[in-house]
Amino acid sequence: MKNVSTKTESFFSRVQGDARKDIVEQLGSEDDAQALFDVLTITHSSKSYHSLENELIERIQRFSNLDGYYRLFNAATKWAKFKESPEPDGWIRLHELQKVLSMTRPEPISQSFIIPDNYSLPNEEFHEQFVERISLCKQNLIVLTGAPGSGKSTYLSYLHKHLEEKKNSCNSTSLFSVS
């Protein structure tokens, strides 16, 4: 670490313009500002962003892999942006770091939803309008939203089977359900 200030020249003498005016205003006088900066030591690391990033990657790879570094980078960015993140209170705990850095990723949730034999459409009119909308092939993306557990995935499984049986010619439409 390099010490930017020197004994012969205070760092405060380098502060100019509005920044100097704001400091003096907040501290009360030039003398008070000068006194603060006389005892203030300002340091800066000599490492560049890239060398620091490379050092972090090297250190993290003792516990994870490169994917883990990028997951941690993304998680830390999110944690810094959002209040009380990570949940519940914004404190980054060891288990959060372990979860992010873990090389064992959770198994994805199965997307094969079994359609019960006694499945009945929740709303026949909605279904007919939805199928018609898909059949028109005017949209490449249709999003189905609803509360968790309301049957979106089961309905989309049913719809997929229904369209397969109908041999729907519009294959370019993508369907997603979002809770």
Cβ neighbors of 43 (< 8 A, separation 6 or more) are: 1, 2, 3, 4
With CA atoms as reference, report the closest residue to 160 among 171, 150, 148: 171
* Sequence spans of domains, the chain: 2-44, 49-101, 124-178
pLDDT score for 46: 67
H/E run at residue 54: helix 49-60
How do residues 102-159 score in pLDDT, each as one tens digit? 888 777 666 667 888 888 888 899 888 888 888 777 666 778 888 888 888 888 888 8
pLDDT score for 3: 45
pLDDT score for 8: 45
Distance CA 152, CA 179 (A): 8
pLDDT score for 1: 42
pLDDT score for 24: 92
Is pLDDT at 174 greater than 60 in this prediction?
no
pLDDT score for 29: 93
pTM: 0.38
pLDDT score for 18: 93
The DSSP bridge pattern shows strands 43-44 and 141-145 to be: unpaired
How do residues 30-87 score in pLDDT, each as one tens digit? 998 888 888 877 666 667 777 888 888 998 888 888 898 999 999 999 999 988 899 8
Least confident segment among 21-25, 104-108, 175-179: 175-179
Distance CA 44, CA 138 (A): 57
